[in-house]
Structure 1
């Protein structure tokens, strides 16, 4: 069975998207999680505060290098999840054919909330969620965003990380990849 490829996108690829990548990998170890930033510069190593909150939530803090979002990354992903609408839109501008696979993380979860995904593959779930666009009332930009904790202190970053952890845990269930095996939950 092919591994589901999920790309998380934020601005600098130093806080939100790397947290989402590593925390999703904790909840869905058989999926392939990665991250990038719309304005990222290639930096070796993880931000110290990000490493600290990630470790506290049980995420992998090993080797990491931030990287910019590219058309190839968007094209090579089964699902692209931005932290804010601008990140989703940047991925679509780079790779228009990925439009039906690009959402904000909160938007995807909001649209999937009433979806009966029983028996669906992760790819089928993504397609079903995409089909709900325009049929479900839109939410405010703020409601679909995970705000940037940059420069706001450790407590704000920790709260952001906790929210991301809850969201990616829910995502793993929606996609049917919770427990590390695609399509079924392991208890």
Structure 2
């Protein structure tokens, strides 16, 4: 099986995009990786998760508060280095999830047929909630095939299922804010990711005891 957009056989690449690639997109990248590993174990190895920034600080560490929030949420912040968004990142991505509509527009403006696979994170979560999981390939057929079908289904719904407001599809920028705001943003991201990861994997979030 060949994954869409030329990614090759047996892999699916998720790219998270924000501005500096030191706050929102690192949090989203590492929470996505943590959730996929938690749900699928070794079965998550074919789902590749990365991030970059439209004004990315190449080689920078993530903000300290972002790392703190990830650790508090059980995800691993270690070893992260920021990247500037390049054409090759968009070309290789099977799904691009951005923090804001402006980021989404910037990714799409780069070309590479990115329009049908680029969403804001909260937009994608909203669309995914409206998709009947029974219409997707069953989990036993593999996460790559199911993820590819999920992106196609979400793209088909766009334009039919509109956000109640512009702000509803965006994640605010915590850069320079206190750690309490980073925690709020981290929780906002986690809540948006949950339906996405649940539908993609077919595995619900573990029950917290």
Give the TM-score normalised by the residue count of structure 2.
Answer: 0.80
Does the C-alpha gap of structure 1 residues 169 and 175 become closer, same or farther in structure 2, counting only changes over 3 Å?
A: same
Tell me, yes or no, if structure 1 residue 25 matches structure 2 residue 33.
yes
Between the aligned partners of 1:154 and 1:102, the Cα distance in structure 2 is 29
Q: 1:42 Cα shift?
A: 0.9
More helix by share: 2
> Paired residue for 2:122?
106
Counterpart contact for 2:129–2:195, Cα < 8 Å: no
Cα distance in structure 1, aligned partners of 2:188 and 2:84 = 24
Match of 1:81 in 2: 97
Would the alpha carbon gap of residues 168 and 138 (structure 1) be closer, same or farther in structure 2, given more than 3 Å must change?
A: closer
Q: Deviation at 1:169?
A: 2.4
Taking only aligned residues, the RMSD between alpha carbons, in angstroms, comes to 2.1
Give the corresponding residue for 1:182.
none
Residue ranges of structure 2 left out of the alignment (5+ in a row): 1-8, 38-43, 138-145
The aligned runs of 1:48-127 (5 Å cut-off) are: 48-118=64-134, 119-120=136-137, 121-127=146-152
Structure 1 gaps of 5+ residues are: 180-184
Alpha-carbon distance change, 48 to 137 in structure 1, aligned in 2, over 3 angstroms = closer
Partner of 2:143: none
Size of the alignment, in residue pairs?
182
Residues 137, 46 of structure 1: alpha-carbon distance in 2 compared, 3 angstrom cutoff: closer
CA–CA distance in structure 2, aligned partners of residues 138 and 170 of structure 1: 17
**Which stretch of structure 1 is more off in the superposition, 38-47 or 7-16?**
38-47
Q: In the alignment, what sits opposite 2:40?
A: none
- Alignment deviations for residues 47-78 of structure 1 (CA, whole Å, 9 cap, x no partner): 21111111010111111110111121111111
What TM-score do you get using the length of structure 1 for normalisation? Answer: 0.89
